[in-house]
Structure 1
Amino acid sequence: MSRYHTSSAPFARVIRALAEAWQSFEQYSGAHIRTTGLSAPQFDVVCTLGNTEGMTFSELGHRTLIYKTTLTGVVDRLEQKGLVERVPCEQDRRCVYVRLTGEGEALFDEVFP
């Protein structure tokens, strides 16, 4: 038993340090995100769409790690705020692109000059 305890001690210290670093980052970034008036997932979507032509829901979900059902609500709220728009895919009617509007691009540029 002591063999496992001894060998896992350095691992536990690393995990604790990573958790503390993550918590510090979350506090710092959370304060910044709140200044934009967006939730963390909304902010993530705007940041992910920045400097792109837009993405399909599948690609956006993959890049943001937001579940598809949750992503729909996040995009709905961003669309209500005028920051994103849905654009039908010309090649496949089942596919919809999400892209930043002019207002969304302005917010992205403000956050990431």
Structure 2
Amino acid sequence: MARRVLVWLAGSAVGGLLIALPDSGPRLFSISRTHGPSLVDSVGMVVAVAAWLPVIWLIWRSRSALRGTTGRVCAGLALAGIVLLVVTIRSDLGLWWLLPVTLLVAAQLLALASLAREPRDAAHS
């Protein structure tokens, strides 16, 4: 699990840096009036998502170990994060997209911390 988390963090950092780089290239497509990825942004998103998928797979595979309050809190944070991210981007709310991203990361970190505390057999069944 530690290796997946390190790859996730490194991929998120590299992807985030690529997305944050200033660019003046044309949009590949539009999400809203002011949002749409350029080629550099798209590469950053691919890197970030590729690093993120193994962690999501680990959480999904071990979801039976996320029961009770922790599981409900993780699910609630993730659902709120997804809904708010769509709303902030579609409504062109500027940097407010950082709030839902924080909720999504918090949900993942809470789930990973909970899984790390589980006995090895429960987390891999």
Query: TM-score normalised to the size of structure 2?
Result: 0.27
Q: Which has the higher helix share?
A: 2
Structure ranking higher on relative contact order (CA contacts 8 Å, 6+ apart): 2
Higher strand proportion, which one?
1
- What TM-score do you get using the length of structure 1 for normalisation? 0.28
